[in-house]
Every structure is written in C-alpha cells, then in structure tokens.
Amino acid sequence: MASPVTPTPLLKDELDIVIPTIRNLDFLEMWRPFFQPYHLIIVQDGDPSKVIKVPQGFDYELYNRNDINKILGPKASCISFKDSACRCFGYMVSKKKYIFTIDDDCFVAKDPSGEDINALEQHIKNLLSPSTPYFFNTLYDPYREGADFVRGYPFSLREGVPTAVSHGLWLNIPDYDAPTQLVKPRERNTRFVDAVMTIPRGTLFPMCGMNLAFDRELIGPAMYFGLMGDGQPIGRYDDMWAGWCMKVICDHLGLGVKTGLPYIWHSKASNPFVNLKKEYKGIYWQEELIPFFQTTSLPKECTTVQSCYKELSKQVKAKLGKVDDYFNKLADAMLTWIEAWDELNPSTQLQNGK
C-alpha cells in the first residue's frame, strides 16, 4: 500500500520567513511542522558577536549588524539597530515573491476546536485570494469556503483586487501600547474571531509586525520599518509607520490589505515602562501623522511602488518636517531604503505594483 503522499507545502519555494531576533530561536521547535519546508531569513539584532542558536534541520540565512553594514555600506544607516524594525532588512535581501514575518515570542495557537493553527497556511490563503477594498462584504471574506458575496454586492466588483498584505492577530498577550499595558497588565486576549476581512480603501489601520505576511513583488519596497531604536527618538512605531505608508500606496495602486485570521499565541509581554520610554513621542506625534496620511494623495504618474514611496518621502519632508526634525531624517532614510532596495533588487521596477 503506497504511503499517503504528503502535499507539497503551499509556496514552498516562493516564500521566505523573516525573523528579527535578539534571543535564541527555540520557538521554532513548535513551528517545525509548518516552517521546516521553508527558507528562513534571520535578522540578528544587537551585539553581532553573540551567537544565535538555530535548531537543527532548518534552512536559513542569518544576518547580523556586521553583515548589514558590509552589504549596504553607508546605506546601512537606514536599517534600525536595537529595534525589531531591523526585520525589514530581511525583506530587502529576500529573492522570493512572498514574505511571512514573525516574532520569536510567538507560538502556535489553537483554534476553538483545539486544533493547532497553521498561521503560515492561512496567510498564504489570504494572499492568494483577492481583496474587496471598494465595497464591504458583510459576510466578511467572500472567497472563503462556505461564504460568498451577499445580496446587493455589485457584480462589477466581485472580481476583487490582488491582495498585497495579510495581517494576522494574536491570542494571549495583545499588542497594546504602553499606557494600555500599564493600566491593564493582566488583560489577555482570549477571543478567537473566525473572520478575515479587507480593510476598506481610504481607511488606515495599526499594522503589527509580529504576525504579518505580504506579496513582496506587489508591495515590498513600501515595507520599510523606519528609523527606530538606538540613536532615534522613537521606538515601537516601526510597523505602524510601514503600515500607514503601505496602505496609502495600496489604495493608490488598487491593491488589497486583509486582517483577521490567522492567530498566533503571543507569549511574552515586553516591559511597559521600557515601552513607554520608546513610544511616548509616537503617542502624541501620531495625532498629526494620521491626518497627514489620511489627506495624502499620490499623483497618477506614480505607477510603481518605488515612485509612490519617493513621492511620499517628499511629502513627509514637506509636511512633517515641521512636527520634528526626526521626520526630515526619516524622509531621507526612506529614499536611502529605496536606493538600497533597487540596488539589491534591480528588476523590481514594476508598473502598478504588478
């Protein structure tokens, strides 16, 4: 009797898993059944002389700060140090069409039936099916098994648009800001919501980087996680900045962003007092940043992600430079990022992100 053929994991040779880390990577043991077939890109932050142990049997490349400096030279200045923002270096050096990024304190969660959740498989499903940013489907993801477009949904919009980003969520430790963490230290997220939905066009959202996947060919150059951590006045806004820039560009290029399933189990609450020191400026700056992104418009001549991003950098400098000089530095770093991206990925000057 022939042994059952194990199905080839979806996108096995078209997806890299990017992990920012300052710790050992024992968490991979729990993910082994789901991650082992895929190539890992490990971005080691902090002291490059520290040896990061990677469990046996994983196919990976590891970059520390010395490697980043060697590969990018002076352009390495755009990659953050001592902040999880460093993960975006992994997006730049990858050669694959898709990226999944996960933190090293995120584990396999269980769904209400007690089954282990293959977060990577769900992200791939999200990315391979269209998004519906132009008209909200009240039964959520219409492309999902057992669902569809509801009555009154325009047939002219049912083809949907290509999905650029899949934003997953977290059981146990929720991704709260420091003030919320301080007032609710024991709060845990126990609510499993069985839904995936497209974030409507024109709507921003707080993108969390700990359980995130995206189509690198559609939107990769916009996934810059900014200047955070060492030497910078702000931290823990890396993923937020990337999410706002990305969403404005996705809306402009007609690409979709989804949020919801899959869940991971977030195990470690980072120190709220340390977090408060990192993020406090962001808490009041964002009251000006959000209106900036909500009112930003990109000219129709911007038909590639790179050209959109360069235009965005110009507007950041013109309109946010007066909020704080940091945004002048960030605008320059956005340009350096694109130059570095194009140097490492010469063939990705795509039209309309496609």
| Residues binding Mn ion (CB under 5 A) | 103, 105, 268
Look at residue 40 and give the partner it binds from ligand LCYJ2WEX, Mn ion, none, a contact being a CB closer than 5 to 8 Å depending on partner kind: none
Minimum distance between the CB of residue 236 and ligand LCYJ2WEX, rounded to whole angstroms? Answer: 4
Helix axes 238-253, 272-295, angle to 10 degrees: 20
Taking the least distance from each CB to ligand LCYJ2WEX, the nearer of 142 and 235 is 235
For the CA atoms of 186, 276, 223, 71, the dihedral, rounded to the nearest 10 degrees, stands at -120
| Residue 102 bridge partners (DSSP) | 211
Look at residue 220 and give the partner it binds from ligand LCYJ2WEX, Mn ion, none, a contact being a CB closer than 5 to 8 Å depending on partner kind: none
Look at residue 215 and give the partner it binds from ligand LCYJ2WEX, Mn ion, none, a contact being a CB closer than 5 to 8 Å depending on partner kind: none
Look at residue 352 and give the partner it binds from ligand LCYJ2WEX, Mn ion, none, a contact being a CB closer than 5 to 8 Å depending on partner kind: none
Peptide bond into 262 cis (omega under 30): yes
Q: Report which of 223, 236, 316, 332 is spatially closest to residue 277, judged by C-alpha positions.
A: 236
Binding site for ligand LCYJ2WEX (CB under 6 A): 20-23, 45, 82-84, 86, 103-105, 175, 208-210, 229, 236, 238-239, 268, 270
Look at residue 281 and give the partner it binds from Mn ion, ligand LCYJ2WEX, none, a contact being a CB closer than 5 to 8 Å depending on partner kind: none
Q: Which long-range contacts (CB under 8 A, 24 or more apart) does 334-338 make?
A: 334/78, 334/224, 334/245, 334/309, 334/310, 335/310, 336/75, 336/77, 336/78, 337/78, 337/88, 337/92, 337/221, 337/224, 337/309, 338/221, 338/224, 338/306, 338/309, 338/310, 338/313
CB 222 within 8 A of CB 309: yes
Residue nearest ligand LCYJ2WEX by beta-carbon distance = 84
Taking the least distance from each CB to ligand LCYJ2WEX, the nearer of 27 and 149 is 27
Phi, psi of 22 (to 5 degrees): -125, 10
Look at residue 201 and give the partner it binds from ligand LCYJ2WEX, Mn ion, none, a contact being a CB closer than 5 to 8 Å depending on partner kind: none
Taking the least distance from each CB to ligand LCYJ2WEX, the nearer of 125 and 236 is 236
Minimum distance between the CB of residue 278 and ligand LCYJ2WEX, rounded to whole angstroms? Answer: 8
Minimum distance between the CB of residue 139 and Mn ion, rounded to whole angstroms? Answer: 33
Q: Report which of 34, 193, 181, 184 is spatially closest to residue 108, judged by C-alpha positions.
A: 34
Minimum distance between the CB of residue 210 and Mn ion, rounded to whole angstroms? Answer: 6
Taking the least distance from each CB to ligand LCYJ2WEX, the nearer of 103 and 141 is 103
Minimum distance between the CB of residue 175 and Mn ion, rounded to whole angstroms? Answer: 8
Look at residue 22 and give the partner it binds from ligand LCYJ2WEX, Mn ion, none, a contact being a CB closer than 5 to 8 Å depending on partner kind: ligand LCYJ2WEX
What contacts 277, CB < 8 A, 6 or more positions away? none
Minimum distance between the CB of residue 33 and Mn ion, rounded to whole angstroms? Answer: 22
Tokens describing residue 182: 């301080």
Minimum distance between the CB of residue 239 and ligand LCYJ2WEX, rounded to whole angstroms? Answer: 4
Using CA atoms, how far apart are residues 16 and 40, in angstroms rounded to an integer?
Answer: 6
| Residue 22: C-alpha distances to residues 53, 83, 175 (Å) | 11, 9, 19
